[in-house]
Structure 1
Amino acid sequence: MLRRRDVDEVVELKRQGLSIRAISRLTGYHRTTITRYLQAPTARPVYGPRVSAQSKLEPFKVYLKERLQAGVWNGAVLLRELRDRNYSGGYTILTDWLRPQRKQAESLAVQRFETPPGKQAQVDWGHLGAVSDGDGERKLWGFTMTLGYSRRLMAEAATDQKLGTLLRMHETAFYDWGAVPDEILYDRMKTVWTGTDERGEIVWNAIFLDFARYWGFTPRLCRPYRAQTKGKVESGVKYLRRNFVCGLQGREPAGLIDLNGQLRWWLAEVANQRVHGTTHEQVMARWEADRAAMHPVNGRPPYPYMDDEQRKVARDAYVSWNGSRYSVPWRYAGKEVWVRDHGPSVEIRYSSERIAVHAPATKRHQVVTLRHHHVGIPTHSRQSVKTLIHIAQSAPVVEHRPLAAYEAVACGGAL
């Protein structure tokens, strides 16, 4: 059977006046075949589109979409799960399918959703600048917690983002509000989560998860590729920079304490008194509905957590901590100790024994010393002189013998 383009070629040659014999010589087709197609041109073969073979991934796409909805976007994790379900395809097929899914997730129109009163708060850190104490410069971070319904904002500045600092700022918000929301949404900060397991499920920081259970809220993570779900927080950090930090230009605070004092005033008099641009209502007017739906604090004490870090005592019986040095009893020189920041004091422990308590240094590179720690410290040092030997030179000792002994030797005898 001739292909359609071959039949078209035969018809064109005949239209040009060539005989069937000539067409046969030119094309190599038999004269009978040429005659048959010229007499019945409607018999030309017609080919439709080819039916593509089903992708090996096709039976698993429903499962994959469920996993994407659950927040699992890691191709290696998804491939491992598909292998457990007898998937025989390759990794490339999977990533080729995932690529447009990611693009679609990033470009989807965002539907704004409003959380009910007391349901959710959102937390994040934002870089605010730097603080200088005369001995150096440290980054300045702003912590924000925003209630999803009323948009009431709590914020505080700090020079680190440690777990202890994060927990303390949570509790500052809880005590300030007198209540705790049902759940709190976070970005993927390492003080909150430590990664994902082999199934792509969230692995929470164990201490943080215990803290959440202690206060009765459920932690949640912002879904990957869906940064819009934290829009209230990102706007809160941006608002903090543009409305509060911007106003400090030219009248910078005297220090971190002064900065946080001004920040508390701004929150009470400006941020939480404004008419919000989205709700078109005053923040504090909606706050009453938030507070009524949240869990009351009821005088619950702070979560029992303190930042501990291991340090080695130097030979001069000092421990380095947060850029300053603190004395310990000299007999602990060279030993490993634990330093704990209590806030109003710095506590140093060796095993279960508390060996030193200091007031925190007021600036970096300060040396904080309690004199009794170094009473009796050995002042001698190992001698570095060479060990030498002294030899007294003396005359050799000569044995005295009678002359008869020498005569016997001369005559062939022996001494």
Structure 2
Amino acid sequence: MNSMIISLIKRIPLIEQIAAGLVIGIITAVFFPSAVPIFSIFGDVFVKALKGVAPVLVFILVMNAMLQRKKNGNTAMKPIILLYILSTFASSLIGVGISFLFPTRLLLKSAGQAAAAPSGISEVLYNLIMNIVDNPVHALETANYISILAWSIIIGMALHTCASDTTKKVFQELSEGITRVVTWVIHFAPLGIMGLVTESVGASGLSALLGYARLLVILIASYSMVALIVNPIIVFIKIRRNPYPLIFTALRESGLYAFFTRSSAANIPVNLALCKKLGLNPDTYTISIPLGATVNTAGAAITISVLSLAAAYTLGVVVDFPTAFLLCIISTIGACGASGVAGGSLLLIPVACASFGIGNDISMQVVGVGFIISVLEDACETALNSSSDVVFTAAAEWGARRKHTA
């Protein structure tokens, strides 16, 4: 009987399970308020599990990325990588800009704890430097993400110069292992979302959902601006002709599939087929498309920056322009290190929140909010990320052809 239930659950897509958890949570909070304390336990366990795995995830993934990078890589890849990075950084700027124009307040436990918030860029930089030099073991224990990020880069770069192929394989397998653990935790998301929504609606009524709707609109508006304005501008600068035929083709034949699969990795075969249809060089796109599924994460940069600023606004943290620019840099770096699993970008939010002095307890609640809206948010984010892989691969090659024929 149990095996039949487990088999049935496995056949239901995770996104539908999360949607069901969302509905059950609302119904429970509205019609069975006495059950709220019991259901909220699932939310607490889910957030606790995220808090436990996230520091290790960031440390291993980033360190492995630095360790596995190739020396003297294919020069044809450099323009594509530059376009990936440029788009990701521009996306974080869009996310920050829209968040400044339309600040969003979230319902968080202990949201009034903002007394220790930094007052400006000088204090942020001081805290940043002090956090970077923290003991790496202590950083993992206390979820000091700035230190975790710094030490993972440093150790990864050091190992890159001396590690054997066996060592690199071990770290690659560690990276795959921690990603699998994150997948297990995320599969608990339906129950976790049910508990979080039950607690939120039970405490503040259905009005608590309005904040989530506002946040979702801001995120989708940001994704749309990048897909339809920012990316076309970048492509036009590269190819010097109308970019929209390429943009719309990629959105229709890649973004649509990615919207429903919610996985850039699962969309790789679709993108490879589209690149072949566009007549691109297979020696290039067979590398750039899998690479883009990992590092071309404009949508993740938006998600990280918008949710981090929502947390700062909720806590009353004053964010000036230099601090916001620092957030854009951190969001770009964090997005490139995001896990490839559904909702993986959400686990990088604490890295950005740390730059504001926001603690792990609060930032992980923000991650929980991200999972609540992930029913639609993650689909749109993945559609932007995956379609951009094809867009920039084609733009780089067509731009190179234009130079040769000029």
TM-score category, normalised to shorter length: under 0.3
TM-score, normalised via structure 2 length = 0.21
Comparing both structures, which one devotes a greater share of its residues to strand? 1
Give the TM-score taking structure 1 as reference length. 0.21
More helix by share: 2
